[in-house]
Amino acid sequence: MSKLLHINHLNIKLSITLIGLFFFVFSCKKEVKSSAEELTPISTGLTLKYAKGFNIIHSGNHKILEVSNPWPKAEHSYKYLLLTKAQIENDSLNKAKYDGIITIPVKKIVVTSTTHIPALELLNKENALVGFPGTPYISSEKTRTRIDNGFVRELGKNEGINTEVLLELQPDLVVGFGVDGTSKSLNTIKNSGIPVIYNGDWVENSPLAKAEWIKFFGVIFDKNKEAEIAFNKIEKEYIDAKKLAATVINKPSILSGAMHKDIWYLPSGTSPEAQILKDANVNYLWADTVASGSLALSFETVFTKAKTADIWLSPSYYPSLETLKKANNHYTKFDAFQNKNMYTFSNTTGKTGGVLYYELGIARPDLVLKDIIKICHPELLKDYQPYFFKPLN
């Protein structure tokens, strides 16, 4: 299950080989503030339990959306001034010092990662989506219907967005993601006058922190209450499942990932993926490791430790036992292979081939956790059918 919850889709198939969605906005009164007062955070209008990469700051009668960790090792925070249409037309704030001015609620939006799609749908704002780079990757039937009916335009590749088509769409906002903030496409869009905001859900270090970014979209669409309700339900389902798993005594041993070239990648013990395994009450064989990214090990090291592992989760992108065997016959020496105790999410796809896990896994960690519990503790959740993970054929 290396990168069990992944970054999204930078053509993420390779990244996930290693296995490894939102705020309270209060009504505003038109009022001009001095620069000093404007910069002073007066209060927070957002209740965040887990997410650390964003916040909403109330400064007088204005709101500032701050994204502090849009990518790993980001050097500075990004601040976006949130204004109603009336405020934008009449307010005399010094808007130049912000990274963007966003008119709320947003009516037309472009998002750039499949992990953003579930938030739109959970808030019933999928009709706001007008463009997306790489529409075949989207698996949701609801959004696919809108794509098929021509309501969502194809924008090319994420690393090279078709800016001509995007500018023709004139969205109110583009939600991007990046690894260093140097996207030429996003910079071109921003320079054209269309606000661009970075979403860093994938950088968070726990499953529920990633899911809580739905409140980020809640403030953009002025659907704060709806975002809070949606997240609370996900959180409750996750915690209830975790409590149920804690009642078992036997913990199956778990292997994850597979080789890429000569390196076996799998999640470190401090990763969100390992956190889900811990909450599922299993014996993840690398639970005691500490690393900021995936572990990179040799075949021999993995084989020595995991030859007798009970269950093998997420063996890279291999769809079947046969393809795994053809890739490397040494895989057949693991007990989990011989006993056919192997499970993957890569075979659960939408009608155009997009892997559902890549899209929904971050937003719904409760489903991921329940899948693992069902696989590892089959006596629990008796009426539950795994959503993402299925046995390797």
The amino acid that residue 161 corresponds to is: I
pLDDT tens for each residue of the chain, 393 residues long: 433 334 344 343 333 333 343 322 323 333 333 333 344 443 445 689 999 999 988 877 778 899 998 998 888 889 999 988 888 776 666 667 888 899 999 999 999 999 999 999 999 999 999 999 999 999 999 999 999 999 999 999 877 899 999 999 999 999 998 777 778 889 899 999 999 999 999 999 999 999 999 999 999 999 999 999 999 999 999 999 999 999 999 999 999 999 998 999 999 999 999 999 999 999 999 999 998 888 999 999 999 999 999 999 999 889 999 999 999 999 999 999 999 999 999 999 999 999 999 999 999 999 999 999 999 999 999 999 999 999 998
Mean pLDDT, the chain, whole residue set:
87
DSSP H or E stretch at residue 256: strand 253-256
Question: 274 is in which domain, residue-wise?
Answer: 248-391
Q: Is residue 122 part of a domain?
A: yes
Claim to verify: residue 65 and residue 185 sit in the same structural domain = yes
Q: Is residue 172 part of a domain?
A: yes
Out of 235, 266, 289, pick the residue that ends a domain.
235
Kindly give the interhelix angle for 224-245 and 365-376, rounded to the nearest 10 degrees. 20
Six token digits for residue 73: 């090792």
Q: Is residue 351 part of a domain?
A: yes
Out of 189, 209, 235, pick the residue that ends a domain.
235
Claim to verify: residue 39 and residue 137 sit in the same structural domain = yes
Six token digits for residue 156: 């090319």
Render pLDDT for 173-205 as a digit per residue (tens, 0 to 9): 999 987 777 788 898 999 999 999 999 999 999
Q: Nearest CA to 2 among 201, 263, 337, 393?
A: 263
Domains held by the chain: number: 2
Strand partners, 176: 198
Q: Is residue 243 part of a domain?
A: no
The amino acid that residue 152 corresponds to is: V
The CATH number of residue 141's host domain is 3.40.50.1980
Q: Is residue 242 part of a domain?
A: no
Claim to verify: residue 105 and residue 210 sit in the same structural domain = yes
Q: Is residue 272 part of a domain?
A: yes
Six token digits for residue 371: 């899948």
Out of 204, 235, 266, pick the residue that ends a domain.
235
